[in-house]
Amino acid sequence: MFGDVDSYKNRENNNNYDETLVKLLEEKIEALTKEIDKLRQDLNWYKTELEKLLAPPYIEATILDILPDGKVIVRSSSGPNLVVNVATNVDVSKLKPGMSVALSQRGSTIIDILPNREDIIVKSFELIEKPNIHYSDIGGLEDQINELREVVELPLKNKKLFEELGIEPPKGVLLYGPPGTGKTMLAKAVAAESNATFIHVVASEFAQKFVGEGARIVREVFELARKKAPSIIFIDELDAIAARRIDIGTSGEREIQRTLMQLLAEIDGFKALDNVKIIAATNRIDILDPAILRPGRFDRLIEVPLPDEKGRKEIFKIYLQRMRINENDKLNYDLIAQLTDGFSGADIKNVCTEAGYMAIREGRESIKFQDIIRAIDKIKKKNLRKAINTRTEKYL
């Protein structure tokens, strides 16, 4: 009798044991299946990456003409004009002269239509139809503003006056001076006040971003400027392509030289009273190639120096008047202007921003005069550290 009860219990235990084991195994299978899926995904990813790495490069080409038999004449980026076929996955009816396409590695077949090159290049410039900066936003540069108004704004706005008087305004203006003194601001403000499109290009990017294409980009920038005229082309860091060169042996140097040549050709190619103006900026006028400064090119030089005490006071006023100052504090502009000898406009803006942060960090809703003094001290130390690092890095 008892034996029966025991065997029943044993069976019961065994059943429980089996159920637990089945559950465990099912869970294990589920986990492993998930892992297989994950590994399969990883494997596919590695396979496609490997394929991409091992795939031969395609050749970029521009369509010149589409022939009646469906073949296409292209100019390949590697040189000659070619008559090529079109792969079946490419819709022939979409092909048009001037379009960029990818050719198979052997250059015999169009295998893809590429996005419009001009769009890609143009997107990498800062193109502002009308910048939102005005002369009144700029402190301490009254003479520079007046000169720019005379040589850029007036000819753009009143071409007739110049034609009647028979005067030719300069084609290109070069702004030179230390970093952060407002050169870019000046160029943007003239564009805004002249209702001109502002095209901002950074010369160092010609060489870095578009290897082997600097000259072509210069051409496209000028084309774009003509299309969007009246316009101002602002070339920042001009020295990156226009520095005097003793040795042009390397291919990189030759490429920069070609870019410069194209820039000079473009400047020479338009008239002083066309409604495209060029403003360039540099911190290193001392190293510029004299060819760039010849009459008819960048022949109007405007120095944009560090602000003097009066200029610093004006810049402080521009920024601080927009900020909320503690009503019990009187701002001593003379003192802060005196304390910031050697500061650029950009440094002064940093001081104001830093003072604002000091108030925020201390949970205040307004800035105290003391914040500004502390911020000046902080920026001074930061600038000093930067100067020490620049002057000592060659010894480290």
Ligand X SMILES: Nc1ncnc2c1ncn2[C@@H]1O[C@H](COP(=O)(O)OP(=O)(O)OP(=O)(O)O)[C@@H](O)[C@H]1O
The site for ligand X (CB under 6 A) is made up of 138-141, 179-185, 236, 281, 283, 315, 318, 345-346, 349
160 annotated among ligand-binding-site residues: no
Helix axes 369-392, 345-361, angle to 10 degrees: 130
Q: Measured from the CB atom, is 213 or 239 closer to ligand X?
A: 239
Which value, in Å, is the radius of gyration of the alpha carbons in the chain? 33
φ/ψ of 171, rounded to 5, equals -80, -40
48 annotated among ligand-binding-site residues: no
Whether 220 and 119 have beta carbons less than 8 Å apart is answered as no
CB of 130 vs ligand X, minimal distance in Å:
17
CB of 182 vs ligand X, minimal distance in Å:
3
Q: Measured from the CB atom, is 236 or 255 closer to ligand X?
A: 236
- Taking the C-alpha atoms of residue 255 and residue 213, their distance in angstroms, rounded to an integer, is 8
185 annotated among ligand-binding-site residues: yes
Q: Measured from the CB atom, is 100 or 139 closer to ligand X?
A: 139
CB of 180 vs ligand X, minimal distance in Å:
5
How far is CA 149 from its chain centroid? 27
Hunting for tokens 């004009």 — which residue is that?
Answer: 81
Q: Measured from the CB atom, is 74 or 302 closer to ligand X?
A: 302
Whether 280 and 170 have beta carbons less than 8 Å apart is answered as no
Q: Measured from the CB atom, is 100 or 184 closer to ligand X?
A: 184
- Taking the C-alpha atoms of residue 231 and residue 228, their distance in angstroms, rounded to an integer, is 6
Q: Measured from the CB atom, is 74 or 320 closer to ligand X?
A: 320
Q: Which residues of 147-174 are buried (b: 16+ CB within 10 A; e: fewer)?
A: ebbebbbebbbeeeeeeeeeeebbbbbb
319 annotated among ligand-binding-site residues: yes
Whether 302 and 173 have beta carbons less than 8 Å apart is answered as yes
Q: Measured from the CB atom, is 213 or 354 closer to ligand X?
A: 354
CB of 349 vs ligand X, minimal distance in Å:
4
**Amino acid letter, 193:** E
CB of 383 vs ligand X, minimal distance in Å:
14
φ/ψ of 173, rounded to 5, equals -120, 135
* Sign, CA torsion 121/123/125/130: positive
Q: Which helix (H) or strand (E) holds 100?
A: strand 100-103
CB of 200 vs ligand X, minimal distance in Å:
10
Q: Measured from the CB atom, is 275 or 282 closer to ligand X?
A: 282
353 annotated among ligand-binding-site residues: no
CB of 134 vs ligand X, minimal distance in Å:
11
Long-range own/partner contacts, residues 263-266 (CB < 8 A, 24 or more apart): 263/218, 263/235, 264/291, 264/292, 264/297, 266/218, 266/219, 266/222
CB of 289 vs ligand X, minimal distance in Å:
19
Give the residue from 318, 288, 283, 324 showing the smallest Cα distance to 303.
Answer: 283
Q: Measured from the CB atom, is 42 or 308 closer to ligand X?
A: 308
Give the residue from 149, 166, 193 showing the smallest Cα distance to 272.
Answer: 166
Hunting for tokens 């000259």 — which residue is that?
Answer: 215
340 annotated among ligand-binding-site residues: no
Residue nearest to ligand X (CB): 345
181 annotated among ligand-binding-site residues: yes
Annotated binding site: 180-185, 319
Annotated binding site for ATP: 180-185, 319
